[in-house]
Structure 1
Amino acid sequence: MNAPLPVPQATSTTCPYCGVGCGVKATPDGQGGAIIEGDAAHPANLGRLCSKGAALGETIGLETRLLHPMVRAGDGDLQRTDWGTALDRVAEGFRRVLEAHGPQAVAFYLSGQLLTEDYYVANKLAKGFLGTANVDTNSRLCMASSVAGHKRAFGSDTVPGAYEDLDQADLIILTGANSAWCHPVLFRRMAAARQARGTKLVVIDPRRTATAEEADLFLPLAQGTDAALFSGLLVHLADAGALDAAFIDRHTEGFGETLAAARAETPDAAATARITGLPEADVARFFALFRNTERTVTCYSQGVNQSVRGTDKVNAILNCHLATGRIGRAGMGPFSLTGQPNAMGGREVGGLANQLAAHMGFAPEDVDRVRRFWDAPHMAGAEGLKAVDMFAAMARGEIRALWVMGTNPAVSLPRADAARRAMAGLDLFVLSENVVGTDTAGCAPHVLLPAVAWGEKDGTVTNSERRISRQRPFLMPAGEAKPDWWALAQVAERLGHGWAFAFETPAAIFREHAALSAFENDGTRDFDLSGLKDVSDAAYAVLAPVQWPVRATPEGPDGTARLFAEGGFFTPSRRARFLAPAPVAPAPVAPGFPLLLNTGRVRDQWHTMTRTGLSPRLGSHIPAPVLMIHPEDAAAAGITGGGLAEIVSAHGRVVLEVRLDAGQKPGTLFAPIHWSGATASDARVGALVHPLTDPVSGQPDLKATPVRLAPVAAETRGFLIARAAFSARAPLSPPPGLHWARARLEGGHGWLLAGDADPAAWGAYAEALAAGAGCAESLVELSDPVGGHYRAAAFTASGALAFALVLAPAGTAPAWDAFARLLAAEQIPEGDRRAILSGRAGGGACGPLVCACFGVPRGAIEGAIKGGCHDTAAIGTALKAGTNCGSCLPELRRMLSETLVPA
């Protein structure tokens, strides 16, 4: 009798998406995937997950994985090789560039997706042993201004509070943060506080987002005027006698000069209202709320950071909290909401070009301290180039070797087309990735190294509240994938530095990282893991989430929830500094580009979709790249909702589908960042973005690129859907002459199509598809060239749908939702085959998903509302929609209003 198979055990790990750092329980399903649930014991999320986290089990298959090392051959093609050959080529390439051009010709571009241990080894190799500080990260694009603001005010990159403050606050201010979509787990904590204790919510944002729809007070200020709003608040607090004079006197410096500068620009609420474009009554109400509410938390994110004045905006916020002593105490403080899972962990080990490890900088004493600790032979002595400047130096030929790890700069950087050209011209371009087919992988890397992915990684990450958590593996590495730290250490050995990189486990790296944080640290540096510098491998394996600083105590390592309630800042004087923001500058003006483009995220996607794009339900809410525009601007440009528009800047162009949005401020546009050359024909928004950066932080301005727009002819609309096995056998290109966006569907893939193409070519295209799939004899067609209609479908030998192509004049094309469901069927009944040709498919509630957590489409929700569900609680009871992460609740409320009010 066979013994029963062991029951798979759940592994406690950490979500790889935003900086909330949610705990996850992952149980392998025995088929290469996993069952995912929130970890109720993790203090960051207490068991709750957002739609992206809940769908992680759908994104860890091998379909898109890079499984073997590859090197560029003489003909330019990438060919499979072994690890030894690939690493030899990397080491030899670096050696040649170092000998010919020196260390300043070498650069590393890292990612907030890396684990802290990977980050640490990369920085040690580059800054200590290769001698280059040209080490930057995609965190430069999202958090650098927050870092710079903290360091100017506190003397250190310290987030002073904890998530528990959101539970205990009586007023929460969200500025430049669409948390309902981008940090939904935290936003639900805020919503719970509103329900439990009546917490007020103020949202400050130029556009009315899903977050703004839930606010008690919404302040749609003019672009770039955040600092003026908080400077006006500082003046009001002084004039109203609402300052904490004792805290200012004991623990700060520079208040008088800062208040005088604020008073010169924003002497009262009326002046503040004029600059920000807000009603004076709303400004006064905001001032009064802050003045009268001691327990206030101000959360800020990319809308503050991604600006040419991002650092000033951060300091304007910090000024108000320092002036009232509302910092480091329960329910109050400034709070930077981090964009990536390990943006903070990367900063802890020197992941930015202006940092050294353990929160040290390039002051001579810090350089010497790190050099001695590492026994580093070629210690970098000055700051390196920040991301935008780094890629500009590549374009000039000053940087000749680049190692990119875990990020996709060909899509995400400003002037992304220029970044592509710069990478393609390098003497050595190394890319460590875990997926194939990214835009960056198409920029002619010399070496492509397969990295382990989430589910295989072993190490630590640090979330927005300074909480270090373990990412633990629950799957074996795919193919020949290896950890990034291992590949770095192997290259170090080949360059003669193996003695300093003889790490055998992530725990060994973590111990060295913690020991450096404690080295000659007598309390003058904020980052201190002295309590963990001797952690054993066994203790590291079971390390519980803990907030730094973590110092040794007789009872064991401690953790620190909050800092600065009693001062103790990390400036030379140990006092916090007030900083006066520069006066508000006019919005950028470029002749011929009258509109300002704002970029950001959508609810269910992440970065460039290399992970979330694998989930059918995550792709259903917004399946194609869109442009949000105020109806007045659309009318002025001759553009209609649902049509296509070309958006052009001085640096590039894209074509996006238009969505009219009255919550968009006139004169401004919004476009999501996620679509790449791999997922859409013309939607790489990074190609538009100008290269302006904050002069202090180096963070690019991703919120105000001057652009123009024009309508694009799109007489034809439709879609192509294809079964997974078919599209894998014969890689598909959509019909020529049409704009397209690709999405993962249940059982296959789909391409939404739009444009102005020749109907005469469609039949030949469908025939070629069917022939390539080996099912030409099953092809059925309906063609009306005069009317502009075409429909075709082909079926496998077993009767399953191989593909369907449906094209029609704009405004008459059927929705693809019902058709897409046919891909998952093993056999299509004859009646449904006829429905495809008639332009119809099987019935049932359909439409885009509104609740991605539970896969609830718009049609089902509309049916429930008409059936008597007249509030979100009733919809949740009937369909479960809105009962998990809650990020769909604003949309549910809009649907209730739209459906019930007319009745």
Structure 2
Amino acid sequence: MKLAPSDCRTVKTTCPYCGVGCGILARRNEEGTVTISGDPTHPANFGRLCSKGVALGETLDLEGRLLTPEVNGASATWDEALSLVAERFSAAVAEHGPESVAFYVSGQLLTEDYYVANKLMKGFIGSANIDTNSRLCMASSVAGHRRAFGSDTVPGCYEDLELADLIVLVGSNLAWCHPVLYQRIVAAKAARPEMKIVVVDPRRTVTADTADLHLAIDPDGDVALFCGLLSHLKNAGVLDEAYIANHTEGLDAALAAADIGPEQVASQTGLTLDEIERFYSLFAATEKTVTLYSQGVNQSVCGTDKVNAIINCHLATGRIGRPGMGPFSITGQPNAMGGREAGGLANMLACHMDLERDDHRSLVRDFWQSPVIADRAGLKAVELFQAVADGRIKALWIMATNPVDSLPDADGVQAAIASCPFVVVSDLLAETDTARHAHVKLPSTGWGEKDGTVTNSERRISRQRAFLPAPGEAKPDWWQMGQVAQLMGHHEAFDYPDPASIFREVAALSAQDNAGARDFDIGDCADMTLHDYERLEPFQWPRPKDTAPGDARFFAKGGFFTANRKARFVPVAPAGREISEASPQFRLNSGRVRDHWHTMTRTGKSARLSAHTAEPFAEIHPDDASRLGITEASIVEVISGDHKARLRALITRRQKAGRLFVPMHWNGLFASAARINALIPPVMDPHSGQPALKSGRVAIRPFKVGLFGFAVSSNKPDPNGCDYWALARCKGGWRLEFALTRTTDDIDGFAARLFREAAAQQLETLAYSDREKHDERRASFDGSRLLNALYLSAEPVAVSRLWAAEQLDKGYDLRQSRYRIIAGRPLGDGRDPGAIVCSCFGVGAKDIGAAVRSGSSSVDAIGRALKAGTNCGSCRSEIQEIVDAESVVAAE
């Protein structure tokens, strides 16, 4: 259906991916598509977007959407579904008490959604059993901030990354996980080559390729590294004695705990004395230093101590709150910060108030005029699902997240949810690994359909605005919770007409009895009209009422939020590394790939984003692979106890010996056995409750394969019966990698099952067979259109994959040309782009190689010739590798 010209408008909104919080311009076109571009006026990105942001328009289709409420698998009305939710939650509270119910929410929610959920659970049900998947990414940072500052305050701004003379990236693959920020740093370094970058990461990621120093630290060696740094700073005489005396307390105890020399640091970190000395000298000599850290710090059994070890070094040198300096936590989700502001964690109240403080609880209860207020911390994410498993939780509401894939002990989480007496799931999709266990499914509006606010990693609040109509009967999450609250008897407190009214309430609560006592204050927004809310421009808090905007940084002149307004040095000491001799031999690190997001429910819809990394893999060092008989592109099993994952082997020297890296994105809808968190034990940081998702102990072995396969199909294939498979979108259909433990002689029967071909279908089929080598190829056509192609081999299939996938979108009127499909590559002068390197512009490795051979001898020259690397820039390191490799070949 074509849109009227009046409906084809451009809307300013905010990206729904990472915590950078990029501004987006979304325009609906007459034919119904959506054009996405960066907002040049937004101060987070100034118009730049990463590959995921660029492809957002490709993820907005309605395929797989949950469009009506469902009760026990059958369609229901909203009245029926919500009445049942209210009835079952009320009954559980009445019979078993408020601790018998729980919400598990998400950084994908907007602040308004988060606030209503927390108000209902903590102020009207009377339990703090509401936690968020943000617990998995930044809870240790929150705990570290609160221990040191007395509040969960990120002191600095993105601008500091460009003003710094030294940036220390700790546990962050910024180039892939936060590409827009990374490119701001790269541009600053190009303008000021004297700027230095240090990357502290066990794995050599593409982020390390532009670093002046890469410290390939042993896992969890960060506490030792920064304790040793604190001692070095004292011995080097660079402590800021005035700042320490006026604005801090506890330095002596912190120094005593951190009293380790370079030799001990080397022993605890696996670094050389020279590497340690270079880093320490650089840090000591450079006043304008930003230490930016992410999941490699937080997702650890000592994550909070890592955060405080970093903060201690900045407090000791007074390098905080001033331009170009400070500790900086970069969050993983678009509204992890907004969730913190709304009290989204089980141990916090709304507006950065403390659940453990009587005065804060009284303030919030009086403001809400609520019948009760939770008086103790609720269950944190891992504990919450353990309580579901042992029967303490009788009713559970999961919103906008997929814990069956994302939490540690993922199989245990799945079993827990399946056994829970009553489970509600609010989501966009009808089928996820979590939603399949729901008694009630509630269709939620998604990005592009919902209105509200999000807060990015620099405390900047931006609007997400609707530019699409809500499909089917989908409703906003805040509306769903408000309706349930009213059905539970709390009418007036949850009678919200729109998200603007919720935002005004958040703002008013933030200012209540504040006057500078708390960091989060946006009281200036408390009287905002609906018109003001619609036009709200991005701003950094604090924004108190009737106060002129000032420096958005915190703590340059003290003013911490402890009782005496002084920062606290936290004594931390490196723990000994005790690994049992019986432990499996490999340390497992999990993380993100460049073009996918969380559990792929959004990015899995985009052929462009799937082209760069189309299947799950395990990175392994060549020496380990050789010792274990693992060959390139073979299938391996990664094993922990009774749990196994099957993955493609990626042999690379970017990975150190004795360690593995596996991405965390693949779920049961896209791969046969790649839910890597099923192999991670539910071990947590004792202070934050954040699980240690990067430190599993596993074994790895070859998986015996009788037949490897690759297929492309215009219709979604059915890989059931394959011993290994990974499914991905491609232009015009689907691509499938698979493997069988045995060979098969019935190729036609296998193909018919795989492609769901009906016996009555009249298809023209071409085939090639070499039974001795188990090399089988088959392609089916409907008229001139390729329907599917199948390639089988005793070895990993040698096919030009992207080229083969692109043929689904092309016509084959000449029968002679169809043999190209059987060959699996273009013949003559046909274009084969090779493996995709630049997702933004669809440029492959062979395209780049050809450009180098034609004279484009630098990354910038490749950009001018092919556009590759000129948008988000996250592929520039890969482009450089190709340029270097081609240069070596040319020189030989």
Give the match's secondary structure for 1:449: strand
Match of residue 577 from structure 1: 568
Separation in 1 of the partners of 2:211 and 2:856? Answer: 24
8 Å CA contact 1:719–1:753 kept in 2: the answer is yes
Encode CA deviations 1:43-68: one digit per residue, 9 max, x unaligned. Answer: 00011000100111111111122111
Cα 1:840–1:896 shift into 2, 3 Å = closer
Cα distance in structure 2, aligned partners of 1:391 and 1:766? 41
The residue correspondences of 1:542-553 to structure 2 (distance < 5 A) are 542-553=535-546
TM-score scaled by length of structure 1: 0.96
Aligned to 1:750: 735
1:629-650 deviations in Å (ceiling 9; x for gaps): 1112212222112111101113
Q: CA RMSD in A?
A: 1.7
Q: Tell me the secondary structure at the aligned position of residue 759 of structure 1.
A: coil
1:827 & 1:839 partners in 2: Cα distance?
A: 15
1:336 paired to 2:332: no
Q: Does 1:106 align with 2:91?
A: no
Contact 1:735 1:762 (8 Å CA) reproduced: no
CA contact (8 A) 2:353 2:360 kept: yes
Following superposition, the deviation at residue 537 of structure 1 comes to: 0.7
| Alpha-carbon displacement from aligned partner over 1:557-615 (angstroms, at most 9, x marks no partner) | x3652010000000111000001113223154472511110000001110011111111
Per mean C-alpha deviation after superposition, the further-off stretch among 838-847 and 251-260 is 838-847
Aligned residue type for 1:240: A
Q: 2:204 aligns with which of 205, 208, 212?
A: 208
Cα distance between partner residues in 1 of 2:806 and 2:730:
8
Pick from 752, 776, 789: which aligns with 1:790? 776
1:765 aligns with 2:765: no
Kept after mapping to 2: 8 A contact 1:14/1:21: yes
Structure 2 residue corresponding to 1:831, chosen from 798, 816, 822 = 816
Aligned-residue offset at 1:505: 0.6
For 2:269 and 2:574, the matched residues in 1 are separated by: 12
The alpha carbon displacement at 1:841 in A equals: 4.8
Residues 1:812 and 1:599: Cα distance change in structure 2 (over 3 Å): closer
- What are the equivalent positions in structure 2 for 1:511-530 lying under 5 Å apart? 511-530=504-523
Structure 1: runs of 5 or more not aligned: 73-77
Residue of structure 2 in register with 1:75 after alignment: none
Displacement after TM superposition at 1:467 (Å): 0.3
Which amino acid counterpart does residue 176 of structure 1 have in structure 2? G
1:479 aligns with 2:467: no
- Structure 2: give runs of 5+ residues left out of the alignment: none
- In structure 1, the partner of 2:25 is 25
2:220 is matched with: 224
C-alpha distance in structure 2 between counterparts of 1:510 and 1:683, whole Å: 40
Q: How far did residue 204 of structure 1 move?
A: 0.5
Q: Residue 595 of structure 1: which of 562, 566, 586 is its match?
A: 586
* 1:899 correspondence with 2:892: no
The aligned counterpart of 1:410 is 404
Q: Distance in 1 between matches of 2:550 and 2:352?
A: 18
In structure 2, which of residues 411, 428, 433 is the aligned counterpart of residue 434 of structure 1?
428
Separation (CA, whole Å) in 2 of partners of 1:141 and 1:574: 30
Native 8 Å contact 2:718 2:756 kept in 1:
no
**2:714 paired with 1:718:** no
Which residue in 2 is equivalent to 1:54? 54
Distance in 1 of aligned mates of 2:328 and 2:759: 54
Evaluate the alpha carbon distance shift between residue 481 and residue 7 of structure 1 in structure 2; reply closer, same or farther with a 3 A threshold: closer
> SS at the partner of 1:13?
strand
3-state SS of paired residue (1:335):
strand
CA distance in 2, matches of 1:597, 1:770: 37
Could you list the per-position Cα deviations for residues 28-80 of structure 1 after superposition, in whole angstroms to 9, with x for gaps in the alignment? 123443100000100000110001001111111111221111110xxxxx111
User: Do the aligned partners of residues 832 and 437 (structure 1) sit closer, same or farther apart at CA in structure 2, a change above 3 Å counting?
Assistant: farther
Counterpart Cα distance in 2 of 1:830 and 1:79: 48
Please list, as runs of the form range in 1=range in 2, the aligned pairs for 1:98-137 lying within 5 A after superposition: 98-137=93-132
Q: For each residue in 1:634-675, what CA deviation from the matched residue of structure 2 results, as whole angstroms up to 9, or x when unmatched?
A: 122221121111011136210111111212122111100000
Q: CA deviation at 1:365?
A: 1.7
1:16: Cα distance to partner? 0.4
Report the CA distance between 1:460 and its aligned residue. 0.2
Once residues 608 and 774 of structure 1 are traced to their aligned partners in structure 2, the CA distance between those partners, rounded to angstroms, is 38
Residue from 222, 241, 256 that aligns with 2:237: 241
Whole-Å Cα distance in 2 between the matches of residues 436 and 841 of structure 1? 39
**3-state secondary structure, aligned to 1:211:** helix
Q: Deviations over 1:191-226 (max 9, x none)?
A: 111111231100001111100111001111111110
Aligned ranges 1:597-746 → 2 under 5 Å: 597-650=588-641, 652-723=643-714, 726-727=715-716, 732-734=717-719, 736-746=721-731
* Deviation readout 1:830-858 (Å, 9 max, x if unpaired): 23322223444563122221001111011
Q: Normalized against structure 2, the TM-score is what?
A: 0.97
Residues 560 and 113 of structure 1, relative CA distance in 2, 3 Å threshold? farther
Q: 1:590 to 1:570 in 2, by over 3 A?
A: farther
CA distance in 2, matches of 1:668, 1:428: 40
Instruction: Report the AA paired with residue 437 of structure 1.
Output: E
Distance 2:559 2:543 in 1: 16
Partner Cα separation in structure 2 for residue 95 and residue 203 of structure 1: 51
Does the residue aligned with 2:611 lie in a helix, a strand or coil?
coil
Distance 1:851 1:646, change over 3 A: same
In the alignment, which of 460, 481, 489 is matched to residue 488 of structure 1? 481
* Equivalent residue letter for 1:630: H
Partner Cα distance (1:104, 1:770) in 2: 48
Question: 1:828, CA displacement in angstroms?
Answer: 5.2
The answer as to 2:308 corresponding to 1:312 is: no
Identity of aligned residues (%): 51
CA distances 1:81-105 after superposition (whole Å, capped 9, x unpaired)? 2111111111111122112211111
Indicate the residue corresponding to 1:361 in structure 2. Answer: 354
Q: Say which of 48, 73, 92 aligns to 1:97.
A: 92
CA distance in 2, matches of 1:144, 1:163: 21
Cα displacement string for residues 345-371 of structure 1 (whole angstroms, at most 9, x for unaligned residues):
001011000011111122222212111
Q: Is the 8 A contact 2:146 2:152 kept in 1?
A: yes
Cα distance, 1:818 vs structure 2: 1.4
* Letter matched to residue 511 of structure 1: R
Q: Do the aligned residues in 2 keep the contact of 1:801 with 1:828 (CA within 8 Å)?
A: no
Give how far 1:897 is off. Answer: 1.5
Please, which of 150, 173, 181 is the counterpart of residue 176 of structure 2? 181
Q: 1:861 aligns with which of 842, 848, 873?
A: 848
Partner of 1:68: 68
Aligned mates of 1:789, 1:535 — CA distance in 2: 69
